[in-house]
Structure 1
C-alpha cells in the first residue's frame, strides 16, 4: 500500500477520503475507529508509564486567502478548538489507563511533564493534564469556577522535543537541508512529477511552488472541512479548488492530489537517518534513563511529553515501532514493570476521532518483535541493547556545537 492510499484509507488519521464529489474528513468526527484496535489496559505490575504525543489539531502555517472566515482566529500553527478536544480526550484516556498508579491530584514526586516551546505543544499538554487530573479535597482550590481543574507544572525543553528549532545546531540544519530544499532524490522526483500542480497552487495562493506549500494547502483543506460546513458537498472552497482550471483535474482529484502532500517533509525526516536520529535521539536517551531509574525504585511513576510530528514519530521509530505517519494528538505509551522480570511494552495512542481516545498495541519492527512475547512485553536489557545505539547523551555535541558556541 503506497503513502497516498494509506492516507486516504485511514479512519483515524487526519486525512480525507474521496467518494464521488463528497470529501469525507474523518477528522471532523464522522467516523469512529472503535472496535478496530486491540485496546489494552495497564499491567497490574507496571511501575512506570511514559507517554508522548504530537500536539493536537492546529491551524496551517499558511492560510488560503479569504477562506478563514469562520476559522483560523487562533493564528497560524496555533492549537484549534478541535486540538484542545483531542488533547482533553487523550488526558481522560490516559487516566483510564494509568488508574491508581498516581493520585487524582498532582504530586511532584509522582509525575513529571515536558513540552516543546511551541504554543501548540504547551497547550496540548496543559489540556491533556486537565483531563488527566481532577482535583479533590485539598487540591480543589476554586470550586465556583474551576472545580475540575488545577494548574500542573511542566518543563520546556527544546533539545529534547524540538531540536529543529534549537539555535546554533548546524548538524540539525544540515540534516534538514535536503528535505527542506527538496533535493533528496525522491523529493526531487516528486517535485518534477507535480510541477504543474505546484505551479497552479503557487499561482492561486502567492506561495512558493514547493512541496511545503502543497502540504500547507492540505492542512487548509482539513480545516475547511472541519469548520466551514457539515454538508461537505457545499463546503465553500475557493473556486480555484472547487472548480480547478488545471488540465486533468476536477474538484475531487485536485483535493486528493493535494492531500498526498500532507506532512510530507515531517514524515520524510523520520525516514531519513540523519534527521530521524537527531530529532529523536535525545528523547530516547531521556526515556531509557527514566526506565533505568525506575528499575532501581527511583523517579516518578508517570512521565509525559508533548512534541511534534517529526520528533514524536522519529522517537517511535527509534523505539522499534512500525509507524508511517502520525495523527494530531497521537503518539505512544510505554509501560515498565519489574515482575516477572524488568520489561517494557510499547503501545500506540490515537484520537477516536476527536473527543475520545484509544490506547492499543503497537506494531513492532521485525527486530523488536523477535524479542517480545505475545502481549508485546520485551526484557528491558535486550530492548536497551537494541535501541540504545540511537540514544544521544550530549545534545550539544550531537548538534555540532563547538566550545565558543556555548
Structure 2
C-alpha cells in the first residue's frame, strides 16, 4: 500500500518534486499550492485524509508551526542546508560566470552561506546576503534586491522565494531560484515515508488495560462504558471489582492527549485504579499492565511500555521510570548496596522530582509506597556505601524522636 503525502508548496516546487518522486516506490503525492508562503496555514485546514504532511521549504513550515501540534499525522519539511547553498552557487558560477561579490542572495539562515564560503576557502568580497523570516514581508525582500540591481551593485539574484523569482523574471532582472539538491529531496521524502510507517506500526501495537475498584465497591456500569468508549476498548470482566480492557496504542494515546481518561478519573465518586501495558504479545502486554497496576493509587493511571519504561501517573505527571536498566552506573550501585536496579531508578527519580535536595525517611517512604521500616533499611544501605549522608535532624510538632535528614551523595542527572 502506498504512503499518501500531502505537500504544501509553490507550483515551481511541485514540478521539481514530481520529477524526483518517481524514483521512490509506494508514495503518492497530493499537492496544496500557494502563491505566497503566508497562505500555508489556510492550506493546512484544507488537507484531506493522508498519511503524512510535507512542506516545500522552511518558510511555509514556520508559518504553520504553531498549528502542527494539533495535526495527528507526522510532518516534515525541506530544509535549506549547506548542500542547497553549495549546489546553487556552483550552478551560478558554471552557467552564468558571475562573481560571488556581484550577487544578492536571500536565505533562511545567513550563517549557512558563511559556512559554505569558509569551507571552500573563499577570501574575496562576499555576496549581499539577505535573511528571510516570517516577520519580514516578501515585498521588502524583493525591493531590497531591486534596489541593489538599480544601484548597479549586483549582476544577479538568487532567491529562496518562488514568488520573488517570478516578479524578478517579469522585470527581466537576471535571477535564479535556490536549487534543492535531488538527493536532499529524495532523503526528505524517504524520511517522511518512514515516519508515517513507524507511526502506523506504533498505533496498532497491542495494549491491555486493567481496571480495578476497591473491594465491595463494584465498578459503575456507566463509568465502564465511558472508559471503553474513550479508549475504543473491548473488555472482559474478571471479578465484580476488576476488568481487562483490550485496545491499541494509537487509541490509548489519543484518549490521553484529549484528557478523556483523566477527566473521568476526576469526575467519579468511586475511585478506581487503571493501568495499561504495551507488549509484543497480548500475554506480555497483560503482564506489563499487571506490573503497572501495582504502582497505581486510586484515580491514577500508569502505563508500562514494551521496553519496561513506567509512564505516569496521569493526570498529575508524565514521569518516565525504567523498570529495567543496562546503565553500568546504576548496576554498579545496585551491586554495592544490594538494592535492586528498580529501587535505584526510583530513588534517582525521587531526587529529580523534589524541589529540595534534603529528605527524610518519611518523604522517601511516601514516594516509594513502602513501609517506614523498609525505607529505613534502603537508606541505611545507601549511607553505609557512601551514596547518602546524614545532614541534620528535623524536630516534629509531636512527641517522639526527631527525624533524621538525609542528602543523596551521587549523581542523579
The TM-score range, normalised by the shorter chain, is under 0.3
Compare the two structures and name the one with the higher strand fraction.
2
Max Rg structure: 2
- Greater RCO, 1 or 2 (C-alpha within 8 Å, sep 6+): 1
Query: What TM-score, normalized by structure 2, do the two folds share?
Result: 0.25
TM (normalized to structure 1)? 0.25
